[in-house]
Chain A
Amino acid sequence: MAGGPSLMDSLFQRSLEDLIKGLRLHNLAAGTAAGTPESSTFLSKSIDEVRREIKSTDQQTKTTALQKLTYLHSLYAIDMSWAAFHAIELSSSTIFNSKRTGYLAASISFNSSTDVILLLTHQLRKDLNSGNPHEVSLALQTLSSICTPDLARDLTPELFTLLNSNKGFIKKKAIATVLRVFELYPDSVRVCFKRLVENLENADVGIVSAIVGVFCELANKEPRSYLPLAPEFYRILVDSRNNWVLIKVLKIFAKLVPLEPRLGKRVVEPICEHLRRTGAKSLAFECIRTIVCSLTQHELAVKLAAEKIREFLTEDDPNLKYLGLQALAAIAPKSLNAVVENKEVVIKSLSDEDVNIKFEALRLVMAMVSEDNVAEICRVLINYALKSDPEFCNEILGSILSTCSRNYYETIVDFDWYVSLLGEMARVPHCQKGEEIENQLVDIGMRVRDVRPEVVHVGRDLLIDPALLGNPFIHRILSAAAWVSGEYVEFCKNPFELMEALLQPRTNLLPPSVRAVYIQSAFKVLTFAAYFYFYPEEALAASISGVGESVHNGWCEQSSDSVSGQTVTFSEPDEGFNPRMLHQPQKDASGNDGKKMISDLEQVSSCSVKMGHFTKDCLVGMVNLVESTLRPMAGSHEVEIQDRVKNVLGLIELIRQEIHGCLVPKEEENDRGELKACEIVRVMHDAFSEELGPVSLSAQGRVPLPDGLELKENLSDLEAICGDFRIPVLSSFSLEKPRSLEKDVVTVSDQQNEEECEPSSESTSLLTEHRKRHGIYYLPSEKKEKVPNDYPPANDLSMQDKVNDEVDYLVKLTEKSLVPKKKPIAKPRPVVVKLDDGDRIHINETLPELKEDLISDAVQEVLLGSQAVASSSRTDKSDKSSNRRSRKETFRPLESNADSTTVEIAELGNKNSRRIKHRTHGKERSHRSSKKATGESDRSDRPNSSHPHGKHKSRQRADGMENVAAESPVIPDFLL
């Protein structure tokens, strides 16, 4: 700066206009993109110039420099915090242009963390007292945008004076600024509030408009405090003809009426009057909104509002239509009739080109859903979804899902329909609601016993469609489909088809977590099939007693493979156990590779069950199919997959062994006690058929703490032990938690199984060692018999000759499976399992409530802020409740004043009002003293506070209003 900013600089200084021209030139030259290198070099060059020029001693140069900087800051996001002091410097200039530039820069760039901001206090005070209204106005504008608690405190007296200014131009701005000051320095309320209230009666519309604006903001935060002013607002509501004012007054009443029902009776008529006469849409809409939100008890008013809403709906202006729909949505919970009357418009609006209108219409349609029309509405909506863009399509699907699942599917009677709707949704091209559909499929499967066959059916349809596997958005749905098919496999009409679907090659497109579910389901299906084979009588009995006719039939009649195009004939279809058939393939297949086997299996994988007997061929076919598909995956790098594949392979070993055994008549084997595998299959089947139900969220809490379990013990040593082990992440399904005892046994044996299958012997030995050292952290284990892996891979090539015969089975089976289930026409709604202890329900309901509570807590904190605005500067949280209480107490006397029951309190009020008058007279000096300010912020509810005024302070705000009330004779009558 030394030789620096000279005459030359100021003479040849670029003006703001030059800068803008330069920027435009560079931007245009370099194309339209803003961030081109050329323009950014120009920018940085200009900033350097500004940095130089702003240090100039010449006011004009400095002003121009700051102007340029402000421009760049505002529109090009250039940092200007470094220039804060220059802005303050310029604001004290006597030249109006410089002053304005300084203030503008300050108001745009300052914030509460700007450290030099306090330096502005003096200048602001000076300008607030200025004789030039534009200087005053500048100061007010600046104050309202950069106000801090300190500024607010220091400038309250000046503001108070300005509230009485005889220039409307200034007064308005002072009023608007007061709002900001109240927020930041609540004690100023005591000084300024009365004057604000007085101005409500001002004849100048502009001033009244500003005042009701301020009250509207205040009432928004803590409406109760402003109830006593209701008569004033009522007068404005009746007298004023200014739409701006009326809108704000309506907004205030919308907040006040819910607090004081008697108020509603008074205001409803004037509001309807305005609604009838006004031509201004804004005012009409505000009237409607006030009625539908706050005056719903007044039927005539609601009716009128509904009429007017219909006018809005029929307008061409999309804005009015949109707002009309919004109002209709607001009225829906109270008067569904109004919505139904406009059903046609609403449905039409679904295909409006305007996104806003479409969304709003969708909301309304969902509000109309009831038990009777849910199917119809969903049908219409799904059709819309198919036609609309992805975003809206998913919005539709989402709202169907959330509406139908509301409160345990209370609107759904026909669950079969709903489940098939879910399946249909999965096939909507843009569907991205996989997760939600997944949850509901599983949830319904668990809760609604009667619908399980349909769930399985829908699941099957989804699983066998190879096209769906290519769409990542519905992988979650497929996961649910696989899960229900496995879990409720007893309802499955054709387990072979299901097994093939679960193992089809395209499943490699699935993410590992979903694939793991597929494999687990295959595991369950296999277990079930094996059980059926080993214990046909039991299975039959179970299916008759427990599962029902259709399923029984499905299993006991022939099942077929609908996928296979070729026909395969069994040479001796009726002969269930033919040893030759088993041995023959062994020879043929020995040289075959897995792939060949799969293709063969696909042809042959059908079974014949005769009178409940599940042939060995069927089982062998299935076992081979599973094995050939899963064997290669045993080395998968995904823990989840590897885990489950090993489980399945283990089971296969068992079954193989057993099938061998079955060559000999069963009874003998039983006698010999060699049927361990059978037993295991039975145990596993029992475990899997154990019903999984919804678990109460609080279930864990009700489990008594076992003796000797130290939950609070430091677990750092455990961490050290587990540190080198990768903890497998649980996959999406946590539904298998509530296992029975039997299941636990299975889990243990499964675990062993896995461990034994551990490919690397090194890691196995490490594990054993680890177990030896830290045995206490392991589950207790028993020795399990090792299954020899010497069973020769079976081959079904031999079954070729049987293929032809299968056609019949196929036909019969499809007949069977395609026959629509007979169901009574008026089907009663199936039972939806809810946890009867009510805990879940309770939690389900309290969860959102809890959230709301948090929200309202947050609101209350804001309210506290405004309460503090209204009454005192209390910030101590612990005082919150007591503060509220005390304030409510102060209002009671006011309302009962007219009953003249509590004369004493009224007297107290008067006394206080006198006090407050006194205080306001002494206002400025006393408030400026910082000692006083600290005293006040220290003040709390302690009644014995040594501070002389402490006792009354929390009430003073209210007293201020009582004071007003006392002056205005209308109040007591009004509220009665």
Chain B
Amino acid sequence: MIKAVIVMNDQGKPRLVKFYSFQAVEKQHELIRSIYGVLCSRANNVSNFIKVDSLFGPDARLVYKTFATLYFIFVFDSSENELAMLDLMQVFVETLDKCFHNVCELDIIFNFNKVHSILDEIILGGQVLETNSSEVAKAAEEISKMEKHANSVTLVPSISGWSNR
């Protein structure tokens, strides 16, 4: 299963932190700092894996990828395929791109809630649920629509929309 998804910028500032098994926040940030320490020492055109046994226990693997100023990081165990995780990262970034139209670091900074809801559509409890970025984008849009109309609406309309599925 997936243990953690982290997005941080090239200065090591976390932008999105999601751990799928409970870790105290201080510990989370300590881990992030250690990861960053390794990441920033790596050249550009090298493999996307880092050994993290010492940080996350044996069997843990980490893949990362750089998109513009951001590092996307997935930590997972032997139940996941390394290359599939890279693909999933691609799905995640694509979805962000769809939702924010040319996503950049600022979008992720200012849309804390939405980014979380997008990620939650893709991964739940460490399990990969959806790998189709359009489906994820659709669900995320629906959620934000509901949030916008939240004040007045009793939410019945969207139910009918879903019962068609």
The answer on a CB contact under 8 Å between B162 and A96 is no
The answer on a CB contact under 8 Å between B83 and A131 is no
Residue A133, interface by CB 8 Å: yes
- Given known A-B contacts A132-B159, A216-B79, A145 and B20 have beta carbons under 8 A apart: yes
The answer on a CB contact under 8 Å between B46 and A353 is yes
Which of A68-76, A426-434, A498-506 lies on the face that meets chain B? A68-76
The answer on a CB contact under 8 Å between B125 and A176 is yes
Which of A205-213, A375-383, A516-524, A935-943 lies on the face that meets chain B? A205-213
Using Cβ atoms and an 8 Å threshold, which residues of chain B touch A243? Answer: 84
Task: State how many angstroms separate the Cβ of A202 from the closest Cβ of chain B.
Answer: 14
Expressed in whole angstroms, the Cα–Cα distance for A449 and B57 within the complex equals 43
The answer on a CB contact under 8 Å between A16 and B112 is yes
The answer on a CB contact under 8 Å between A177 and B124 is yes
Within 8 A of B (CB), among A304-322: 318-319, 321-322
Using Cβ atoms and an 8 Å threshold, which residues of chain B touch A319? Answer: 47-49, 82-83, 86
Residue A460, interface by CB 8 Å: no
The answer on a CB contact under 8 Å between A96 and B155 is yes
The answer on a CB contact under 8 Å between B79 and A220 is yes
Within 8 A of A (CB), among B115-146: 116-117, 120, 124-125, 127-131, 139, 142-143, 146
Expressed in whole angstroms, the Cα–Cα distance for A288 and B50 within the complex equals 21
The answer on a CB contact under 8 Å between B150 and A73 is no
* Cβ-closest chain B residue relative to A250: B81
* Cβ-closest chain B residue relative to A317: B47
Using Cβ atoms and an 8 Å threshold, which residues of chain A touch B54? Answer: none
The answer on a CB contact under 8 Å between A244 and B131 is yes
The answer on a CB contact under 8 Å between A286 and B155 is no
Within 8 A of B (CB), among A6-54: 16-17, 20, 24, 32, 34
The answer on a CB contact under 8 Å between A217 and B124 is no
* Cβ-closest chain A residue relative to B153: A96
The answer on a CB contact under 8 Å between B125 and A177 is yes
Expressed in whole angstroms, the Cα–Cα distance for A111 and B48 within the complex equals 32
Using Cβ atoms and an 8 Å threshold, which residues of chain A touch B69? Answer: none
* Cβ-closest chain B residue relative to A32: B11
Residue A628, interface by CB 8 Å: no
The answer on a CB contact under 8 Å between A167 and B20 is no
Within 8 A of B (CB), among A159-178: 167-169, 172-173, 176-177
Contact string, B10-32, partner A, CB cutoff 8 A, digits 1/0? 01011101001010111011000
Expressed in whole angstroms, the Cα–Cα distance for A71 and B115 within the complex equals 12
Using Cβ atoms and an 8 Å threshold, which residues of chain B touch A447? Answer: none
Expressed in whole angstroms, the Cα–Cα distance for A959 and B17 within the complex equals 42
Residue A357, interface by CB 8 Å: yes
The residue from A210, A220, A286 contacting B129, defined by CB atoms under 8 A apart: A210
Contact string, A94-133, partner B, CB cutoff 8 A, digits 1/0? 1111101100100000011000000000000000000111
* Cβ-closest chain B residue relative to A34: B13
Contact string, A239-281, partner B, CB cutoff 8 A, digits 1/0? 0000110011001000000000000000000000000000001
The answer on a CB contact under 8 Å between B165 and A168 is yes
Task: State how many angstroms separate the Cβ of B113 from the closest Cβ of chain A.
Answer: 7
Using Cβ atoms and an 8 Å threshold, which residues of chain A touch B28? Answer: 77
Residue A369, interface by CB 8 Å: no
* Cβ-closest chain B residue relative to A357: B47
The answer on a CB contact under 8 Å between A214 and B127 is yes
Expressed in whole angstroms, the Cα–Cα distance for A77 and B23 within the complex equals 12
Residue A285, interface by CB 8 Å: yes
Task: State how many angstroms separate the Cβ of B94 from the closest Cβ of chain A.
Answer: 16
The answer on a CB contact under 8 Å between A134 and B84 is no
Residue B45, interface by CB 8 Å: yes
- Counting chain A residues whose Cβ lies within 8 A of the other chain, the interface size class is 35 or more
Expressed in whole angstroms, the Cα–Cα distance for A94 and B113 within the complex equals 18
Task: State how many angstroms separate the Cβ of B2 from the closest Cβ of chain A.
Answer: 10
Residue A323, interface by CB 8 Å: yes
Expressed in whole angstroms, the Cα–Cα distance for A94 and B152 within the complex equals 10
The answer on a CB contact under 8 Å between B110 and A17 is yes
Using Cβ atoms and an 8 Å threshold, which residues of chain A touch B130? Answer: 172, 206
Q: What's the dominant secondary structure at chain A's contact region?
A: helix
The answer on a CB contact under 8 Å between B124 and A356 is no
* Cβ-closest chain A residue relative to B160: A131
- Given known A-B contacts A67-B113, A169-B139, A74 and B127 have beta carbons under 8 A apart: no
Task: State how many angstroms separate the Cβ of A314 from the closest Cβ of chain B.
Answer: 15
Expressed in whole angstroms, the Cα–Cα distance for A100 and B131 within the complex equals 23
Task: State how many angstroms separate the Cβ of A220 from the closest Cβ of chain B.
Answer: 6
Expressed in whole angstroms, the Cα–Cα distance for A220 and B77 within the complex equals 11
- Given known A-B contacts A134-B142, A285-B83, A354 and B47 have beta carbons under 8 A apart: yes
The answer on a CB contact under 8 Å between B47 and A75 is no
Most chain A C-beta atoms within 10 Å of own C-beta, residue among B29, B50, B125, B131:
B125
| Number of CB contacts from chain A to chain B under 8 A | 162
The answer on a CB contact under 8 Å between A209 and B128 is yes
Contact string, A192-229, partner B, CB cutoff 8 A, digits 1/0? 00000000000000100110011011001000000000
Residue B109, interface by CB 8 Å: yes
Residue B102, interface by CB 8 Å: no
Residue B53, interface by CB 8 Å: no
Task: State how many angstroms separate the Cβ of B147 from the closest Cβ of chain A.
Answer: 4
Within 8 A of B (CB), among A332-390: 353-357
Using Cβ atoms and an 8 Å threshold, which residues of chain B touch A220? Answer: 78-79
Using Cβ atoms and an 8 Å threshold, which residues of chain A touch B29? Answer: 77
- Given known A-B contacts A134-B146, A319-B86, A356 and B47 have beta carbons under 8 A apart: yes
The answer on a CB contact under 8 Å between B162 and A167 is yes
Using Cβ atoms and an 8 Å threshold, which residues of chain A touch B158? Answer: 132, 134
Using Cβ atoms and an 8 Å threshold, which residues of chain B touch A169? Answer: 139, 162, 165
Expressed in whole angstroms, the Cα–Cα distance for A217 and B3 within the complex equals 13
The answer on a CB contact under 8 Å between B127 and A213 is yes
Residue A141, interface by CB 8 Å: yes
Expressed in whole angstroms, the Cα–Cα distance for A714 and B42 within the complex equals 59
Residue A62, interface by CB 8 Å: no
Expressed in whole angstroms, the Cα–Cα distance for A281 and B151 within the complex equals 48
Expressed in whole angstroms, the Cα–Cα distance for A240 and B1 within the complex equals 21
Expressed in whole angstroms, the Cα–Cα distance for A319 and B131 within the complex equals 21
The answer on a CB contact under 8 Å between A176 and B124 is yes
Using Cβ atoms and an 8 Å threshold, which residues of chain B touch A145? Answer: 20, 125
- Given known A-B contacts A144-B125, A173-B124, A353-B43, A217 and B84 have beta carbons under 8 A apart: no
Expressed in whole angstroms, the Cα–Cα distance for A112 and B22 within the complex equals 9
The answer on a CB contact under 8 Å between B113 and A100 is yes
Expressed in whole angstroms, the Cα–Cα distance for A130 and B113 within the complex equals 22
The residue from A95, A176, A322 contacting B49, defined by CB atoms under 8 A apart: A322
Residue A856, interface by CB 8 Å: no
* Cβ-closest chain B residue relative to A16: B112
Task: State how many angstroms separate the Cβ of B128 from the closest Cβ of chain A.
Answer: 6
Expressed in whole angstroms, the Cα–Cα distance for A272 and B58 within the complex equals 30
Residue A282, interface by CB 8 Å: yes
Within 8 A of A (CB), among B46-82: 46-51, 78-79, 81-82
Task: State how many angstroms separate the Cβ of B109 from the closest Cβ of chain A.
Answer: 6
Using Cβ atoms and an 8 Å threshold, which residues of chain B touch A95? Answer: 150-151
The answer on a CB contact under 8 Å between A282 and B151 is no
Task: Known pairs A20-B109, A286-B84; list 8 more (Cβ under 8 Å).
Answer: A67-B112, A77-B28, A144-B124, A146-B22, A169-B165, A179-B125, A214-B127, A248-B79
Sorted nearest first, the 9 A-B pairs with minimum C-beta distance are A144-B125, A282-B83, A354-B46, A318-B47, A97-B150, A176-B127, A97-B147, A322-B47, A77-B25
* 15 residue pairs A–B, Cβ–Cβ below 8 Å: A17-B110, A74-B17, A74-B112, A75-B112, A94-B154, A96-B147, A141-B125, A172-B129, A206-B130, A244-B131, A321-B47, A354-B43, A355-B42, A356-B51, A357-B47
Q: Which residues of B contact A (CB under 8 A)?
A: 1, 11, 13-15, 17, 20, 22, 24-26, 28-29, 42-43, 45-51, 78-79, 81-84, 86-87, 109-110, 112-113, 116-117, 120, 124-125, 127-131, 139, 142-143, 146-147, 150-151, 154-155, 158-159, 162-163, 165
Q: Which residues of A contact B (CB under 8 A)?
A: 16-17, 20, 24, 32, 34, 60, 67, 70-71, 73-75, 77-79, 94-98, 100-101, 104, 111-112, 131-135, 140-141, 144-146, 167-169, 172-173, 176-177, 179-180, 206, 209-210, 213-214, 216-217, 220, 243-244, 247-248, 251, 281-282, 285-286, 318-319, 321-323, 353-357
